[in-house]
Amino acid sequence: MKQKILTKEIYLQAIGDSFIKLNPKTLIKNPVIFITGIGALITTCILLTNTFNWFEFQIALWLWFTVLFANFSEAIAEGKGKAQADSLRKSRTQTLARLLKGKTESQVNATELRKGDLVVCETNDIIPADGEIVEGLASVDESAITGESAPVVRESGGDRSAVTGGTRVLSDRIVIKITMDPGEGFLDRMISLVEGASRQKTPNEIALSLLLTALTLVFLAAVVTLKFFADYAGEHVSIPVLVSLLVCLIPTTIGGLLSAIGISGMDRLIQKNVIALSGRAVEAAGDIDILLLDKTGTITYGNRMATEFISAPNVDEVEMYRIAHLASMSDETPEGRSIIDFARTKYAKLDRENEVLKVEFVPFTAQTRMSGVNHESKQIRKGALDSIEKFIVSLGGKMPAETVKAAETIARSGGTPLVVCENEKVIGVIYLKDVVKNGIKERFLELRKMGIKTVMITGDNPLTAASIAAEAGVDDFMAQATPEMKLKRIRDEQEKGHLVAMTGDGTNDAPALAQADVGVAMNTGTQAAREAGNMIDLDSNPTKLIEIVETGKQILMTRGSLTTFSIANDVAKYFAILPALFASLYATNNGAGPLSVLNVMHLVSPKSAILSAVIFNALVIVALIPLALRGVAYKPIGASALLRRNILLYGVGGLVTPFIGIKLIDIMINLI
């Protein structure tokens, strides 16, 4: 069960951090809010040095409110990451390690372990530091870092040898070689990363910051010169009013939410149990246009499953299902279980009929390449075509030509044929295949709509790869892929200007993971793979790569939508403040100047118009904090469709909302 994302503690911490972030060294990192803060400070100084003015007091109050809530939005996003870090810290308790030197064990503090040391862990022991299993196999509880209660199996050799400090051994005995010195472990890096301390702005975020800074400087120059024009025309405009105009015209809305959007992007990945080692990688995920995925376990389930039973000549279908079911009763492999399940879907009563039979189980061996049961005088076997053929020939039987042809057809299509026999009689062929995951084709279709090309990577032969690729709906595939081939493919695509993502878990994937713009390493993978990638999936679910791309897209869509809303917002605030400033300029006998025609909202007075705009400018940041943290609704649409949606929804909405909001605030102010 997932923890509540926002808690009372996070809110209280964020309130305190909002004031701490008033430090000019911190505030200047966000130029728009920095200018707003300077304006609030100037207005406050004028208020304190002159006779108390209730109007100017309210202006100063709401300007500080704007700055604080811009800081609050960033602090809330950071607070979510810090809460995750605190949870991780609790799992990094001081433990004793069983240091192994030769055949002698000694207990030492986990902080004394160094890279290359060997430690022993048994049932209920806490793994003291990051390492790789060099001896044994064990069930490990990784809920401390993944949040998932289901244990995982770790073993020496292969791609599932890596273990993380702070996790707990549930069974058996393993010897671990420490791969990290104290303070450099995976958990230490995670804590630092989720706190956001090392997060850097991404290229798109920097570009948007430059745009906002440029707009701020342009409006700053315009407002400063406006003071001189007003004086020349004989219209007195106070400094607090000019500050209000500046704050309402510059893009304070997106400026106040920009940092929160970036930080919350990393947090959304944390909620999906993905640690982003780089903020740039999160952003890059949104611009990915080439996606490389492993076949086994990603596109397919990874286990061969029964999909069809083909009866031999003169064999009844029911008999075929019955014998295949009986032959698999002792087979605990995923393939054997799938045969049982497939037979059960056709004839449920087979379970009851076969379970009452007294049978002798015959296990699979590398020598016979067969398994099955002995029942009375009957020997029921299933196995590879050549193995079953040798078996029935030894009993005086013969393999039917139709069965050989069916087995060859299955093999050519990328499947695995298993022949079933009863004594010397051939019963039929079971068609096993690596089944494409449900819904994966639809997900690839969504990616295609987003302009992302999918490439399946597999070590299978080209014929099998082509068959799976066609069924899954990928755009391209690489068969019999080697590490060098993967690396070359990524480099070739990058040279063409593409951004490439890939996933991997083995040492042989490390070069490609390091080269890819978004390299997602599995937490169950080797240390080399985890160090090469710029993201680590704690659930070790290769399909998570698709969710990472969607999260990156969502960040870009959120930023674009709120930027459109913010800029459209400024247009409405312009119609609120400027007419109020110069309504009496060049006034006629009735007291109304020519610029009063711009007062389309019919605001009651210049002061209430200015104050209403400032209040709305502050409250809109508060209202949009949840959207910035959650992100806009993700839809797999193209760039032109996305631009059209932003203009119609957030552009028009950003234009209309201030007219309504400012008018309502103006009415409330004058009622009070």
Catalytic residues: 294
Residue 254, token pair as written in the block = 């997106």
Residues 6+ positions from 351 with CB-CB distance below 8 Å: 344
DSSP symbols for 492-540: HHHHTT--EEEEE-SGGGHHHHHHSSEEEEETTS-HHHHHH-SEEETT-
What distance lies between CA 179 and its chain's CA centroid? Answer: 27
Residue 97, token pair as written in the block = 């390690």
Q: Could you tell me the CA-to-CA distances from 587 to 234, 237, 319, 579, 598 in Å, in that order?
A: 11, 16, 102, 13, 14
Q: Compute the 3-state secondary structure of the chain and give helix, strand, coil in percent, each to the nearest 5.
A: 55, 15, 30
The upper half-sphere exposure of residue 616, i.e. CA atoms within 13 Å in the direction of its Cβ, equals 32
Give the E-state strand segments of 195-333 in sequence order. Answer: 274-276, 290-294, 300-311
Terminal CA-to-CA distance of the chain, rounded, Å? 48
DSSP symbols for 300-352: EEEEEEEEEEEEPTT--HHHHHHHHHHHTTT--SHHHHHHHHHHHHH-TTHHH
Residues 6+ positions from 478 with CB-CB distance below 8 Å: 455, 456, 457, 458, 465, 485, 486, 489
What distance lies between CA 141 and its chain's CA centroid? Answer: 23
| 478: amino acid identity, one letter | M
Exposed, middle or buried, 495 (CB in 10 Å: 0-12/13-18/19+)?
exposed
CA distance 575 to 167: 60
CA distance 352 to 232: 100
Helix axes 31-49 and 252-271, enclosed angle (nearest 10):
130
Taking a C-beta distance cutoff of 8 angstroms, is the pair 291, 321 a contact?
A: no
Taking a C-beta distance cutoff of 8 angstroms, is the pair 327, 372 a contact?
A: yes
Residue positions forming the annotated binding site for Mg(2+):
505, 509
DSSP symbols for 418-452: EEEEETTEEEEEEEEEEEEPTTHHHHHHHHHHTT-
Residue corresponding to tokens 């039973």 = 309
CA distance 422 to 426: 6
Taking a C-beta distance cutoff of 8 angstroms, is the pair 521, 530 a contact?
A: yes
Taking a C-beta distance cutoff of 8 angstroms, is the pair 167, 144 a contact?
A: yes
